[in-house]
Structure 1
Amino acid sequence: MNSIKSHKDLHIWRKGMDITEAIFRLVKSFPKEEKDILTNQMKRCALSIPSNIAEGFGRNSNRSFIYFLAIARGSLYELETQLLLAERFHYIKDVQLLHTVLLQIQEEGKMINAFSKTLH
């Protein structure tokens, strides 16, 4: 991690930012009655992914970083579950974006797992 100067240098952080941006675009088309329920929860989960990666990096301890990566991973899988529920409820209009985000989530999970192993 010597060449990494900031959390912004981490590919896992940048991918988390991309996922968050996609979620904010995706939920715009949800039914109005969902704006205060599932939409807000999905946004919080998405925001949690890059935020916890950044916080873990800022702790300057591998042990703390691993802990925050685990939280980010948990938020990632919580978000995936919420996306699948939104799909079941037919809230998602842009199916292509949904599939793209689900692939990004899978990639991000693998990347977080691999990165976390390098910190042990």
Structure 2
Amino acid sequence: MAKIASHKELTVWNNAMDAAMKIFEMTKSFPVEEKYSMVDQMRRSSRSVAANLAEAWRRRRYEAAFTAKLNDAEAEATEVQTWIELAQRCGYIDQETATELDETYEHIIGQIVTMIRQPGKWTLDRRSGGER
């Protein structure tokens, strides 16, 4: 694995950012009565996936802290999937859009789970102060 200097170089972080922007754009067309409920929740949880990935990256000196933040990112991604399903059932998005977004988040979850299962590939070696 090539040395990654910033969380912004992580493919999963970029995927999460792209997905959050899709959610942001999509929710602009939701009914006004959803502005302070579903729209806020969808935007918050989608943004939180990327934010938790960034936090995990900064906590990679400690494997437990690193994996805890990754678990938070995974949980937020599954929350987004629930909001997507609700938006589709409420008729705010069509089935095709819902399926596409759900698959996007399923892919992100898979990337996160891979990192959780192999934290040693991502965490820093505390003895030497560098990456393993």
Q: Is the TM-score greater than 0.5?
A: yes
1:1-120 matches, cutoff 5 A: 3-59=3-59, 60-92=61-93, 95-119=95-119
Indicate the structure with greater helix content.
1
Runs of 5+ consecutive residues of structure 2 not aligned to the other structure: 121-132
Instruction: State whether residues 26 and 97 of structure 1, in contact with CA within 8 Å, keep that contact through their aligned partners in structure 2.
Output: no
Structure index of larger Rg: 2
Map Cα deviations across residues 3-55 of structure 1 (whole Å, 9 max, x no partner): 11110111111111011001001111111111111000110001100000001
Aligned residues: 119
Q: Distance in 2 between matches of 1:62 and 1:12?
A: 18
TM (normalized to structure 1)?
0.91
Once the two structures are superposed, residues 73-110 of structure 1 have per-residue CA deviations (whole angstroms, 9 ceiling, x without a partner) of: 000001100110111010125x5443321111010111
Bigger relative CO (Cα 8 Å, ≥ 6 apart)? 1
Q: Distance in 2 between matches of 1:52 and 1:86?
A: 24
